[in-house]
A and B are shown apart, each in its own frame.
Chain A
Amino acid sequence: MNRGYCGRVDAEVSTVPRPFPSAVDPLFREFVAGLDRGVLTVRRCAACARVQWPPRSLCGTCRAGEFEPHEVEPAGVVYTYTVVHRAFHPWFAERVPYGVAVVDVADSVRLTGLFEPAGALRCGLDVRGEIRELGGHPGLLWTPR
C-alpha cells in the first residue's frame, strides 16, 4: 500500500480539544491519574496478583474484586494498527492520515495510542511510548524503537 505521507499528531491548528472522558469512570481512576503523572498504570488483582487490563469489576482468574495499581513500561510490540484517512471528529480531521497502534506490553496488556510516523506502521514493530500533552489532554504516543 502506498504510504507517501507522514501524519503529524501535534499540528498546532486545532481549537477543538481531543476527545477525553468528561467524567472519569471509577474503574479508570488510577489509569487517568497515572497519565497526569506521565506513567501507564493498569491494575493487578490484590488476591491472586494477576494483571488485569482493561479494568473490570472482578478478577478474570480468581473472581476477587479488590485491585491495586500496577505500572507498566511504555514499550512493546505492535499487535495490530490502523491508519485513519477519514476522521469522525474535528480534532482528528486536522491530522489525517493519523496512525493508531495497539501494542503488546508486558503482562498480556495491550494499550492503544497514537503512532507516528503513520507510514511506518506494521504488525510486529518494536515501539516505545511517551505520555505527553496531545490536544489539551495527556495521551499515549507510540514511536518506532
Chain B
Amino acid sequence: MTARIVGVGETEYCRGTAKTTERLRLEAALAACADAGVPPEDVDGVVIPNGSVEAERFVHGLGIRDLRFHAQSVMGGASTVASVVLAAGAVRAGLASRVLVAAGGTQYSRANRLSAADGGAMAFHWPAQEFRTHLEFPYGISVPMQWYSLHANRWLAETGADPRGLRDVALSTRAHAHRNAKAFFRDRPLTSAQYDVAPLLVEPFRLYDVCPESDGAAAVLVDRAGADVLSDHRPVRIAGGGEGHADVPDDLVSRPDILQMGLSKLAPRVFAEIGVAPADLDFAQIYDCFTFVVVRQLEELGFCARGEGPAFIAERGIGPGGGLPVNTHGGLLSQAHIAGMNHVVEAVRQLRGEAGEAQVPGAATGVVTGYGDMSDGSMLVLTR
C-alpha cells in the first residue's frame, strides 16, 4: 500500500464523562488534523467503525467542504483497524486524498453498559442475532467474555496450553501502563498474588483477564504517500493490512474448529503479500479485550504454534524491555478501551520515535491487530 498515517489524536481517557460519543470522536479527529498540520476542512473522506456516528456529523464538526468518500466497517472490535485499512485503500484508489478514522466513545458513561447485570447486553446488536436469542441468551451466554471462554476452554483442553500465560499478559500489560501518562491504571501495581485472588468471572477468566469499559476517543488521518508533509512529524507508512473472517464467521459454537479465527487466514496472507515475517516485527499492539486473545493472536500471527503462546511469552518476554514488547501503551486492559484506536496511535508514536518512556529502541516495523464479534480479525503492518 502506498498510504501513510500523517496525524494521530486522542481525547482524555477516563471513566465518567458528560460528553457524547460524537463529541469525543470529533475532538479526537480535530487533534489528528492538528497533529498532521492539515486544516480539518481539507479532509475529504471518513471511515466509521461500527457506524456509530454518521458521516454527515463529521462534515459539520470538521467543516469538511467536499466529502468525497465514506464507509463503515462492522466487525465489533476488529472494525477500527479494518477502518484504517479501508482508508488506506481509498486514498490509494484515488477515492479521496485525506481520510479520517475516529473510534471510541462513551462506553463507560452510556446508559446501557455491556457489563450490566440486568440483561442489558441482550439489547446489543450481535452478528446472527437470531442465533443469540434462540440458542445462547436462554442459557446465560450473552457477553463476549462468555463466548471467548468457550474458545479458551477448548484451547486449553486440546493443546494443553499453560493457563498461566493469561496472567503473564495481564502483568506485562500493566507494567507497560506504568510508562504511559494516559494509562488509566498507571501507578496502580498489579502483582501475581493480586491476579490470583481476583474473582473468577467466567472460567478461565479472572477479573484482570478482562478489559474495563472506558470513555474517550482516538483518531488517525490517512493520506497518500508522496503528498506534502505539513507537520514536523514523520509519516508512518502503511506497509500492508486487511481483514479476515473465520469459517462460520457469525457463530463460534458451530464453527468446526472453534480455535480458528479471522487472523488465522489474514496473517499469513498479509505477511506473504508484503514480504514481512513475524521475526521482523519490533513490537506488536494486539487487540486485548481479554488476556487470552493476546496469547491466541500471537499464536495465529505465527510467532509460535497453537498452545505454545504461553511458553513463547515466558521465553521471549512481552513486557518492557522484552524481546517482543506487546501493547506498549497498556492496551485495552490497562490504558483504556478506545476500541483499539489507541493501539494504532501507539504504533505510530513508536515508529516516529515519540513514545517517551515506552519507546522501543530503534522501532522500525510493527503490527497492530483488531479482534471483534465472533473472532473477526483485522491487521495493519506499519513501518517507519
Contacts and interface: CB of A to CB of B under 8 A. Distances in A.
Given A19-B119, A88-B116, A80 B151 contact: yes
B151 to A, nearest CB: 7
A80 B258 contact: yes
Contacts of A63: none
Contacts of A70: none
Contacts of B140: 19, 84, 87-89, 91-92, 95, 98, 100, 114
Nearest to A21: B133
A113 B139 contact: yes
Contacts of B117: 87-90, 93
A46 to B, nearest CB: 21
A124 B130 contact: no
Interface in A85-109: 85-93, 95, 97-98, 100, 102, 108
- Most central of A19, A95, A137 by chain B CB within 10 Å: A19
Interface string A1-37: 1000000000000000011110011011001100000
B141 interface: yes
B203 A123 contact: no
Interface residues of B, number: 41
B139 A114 contact: yes
A141 to B, nearest CB: 10
Given A85-B202, A88-B121, A100 B130 contact: no
Given A90-B119, A112-B139, A83 B203 contact: yes
Contacts of B157: 80, 122-124
Contacts of B254: 53-54, 110
Nearest to A31: B134
A84 to B, nearest CB: 5
B135 A1 contact: no
Given A25-B134, A32-B134, A102-B253, A1 B141 contact: no
Interface residues of A, number: 45
A93 B247 CA distance: 33
Interface of A: 1, 18-21, 24-25, 27-28, 31-32, 53-54, 79-93, 95, 97-98, 100, 102, 108, 110-114, 122-124, 137, 139-140
Interface of B: 115-122, 128, 130-131, 133-143, 146, 149-151, 153-154, 157-158, 199-204, 251, 253-254, 256, 258
Given A19-B140, A25-B134, A86-B202, 16 more contacts: A21-B138, A24-B134, A31-B134, A80-B150, A80-B153, A82-B153, A83-B202, A84-B203, A87-B117, A88-B116, A89-B140, A100-B146, A111-B135, A112-B136, A112-B141, A139-B138
Task: Give the 9 A-B CB pairs with smallest separation, nearest first.
Answer: A123-B157, A80-B154, A92-B140, A89-B119, A25-B130, A86-B201, A82-B149, A83-B203, A19-B137
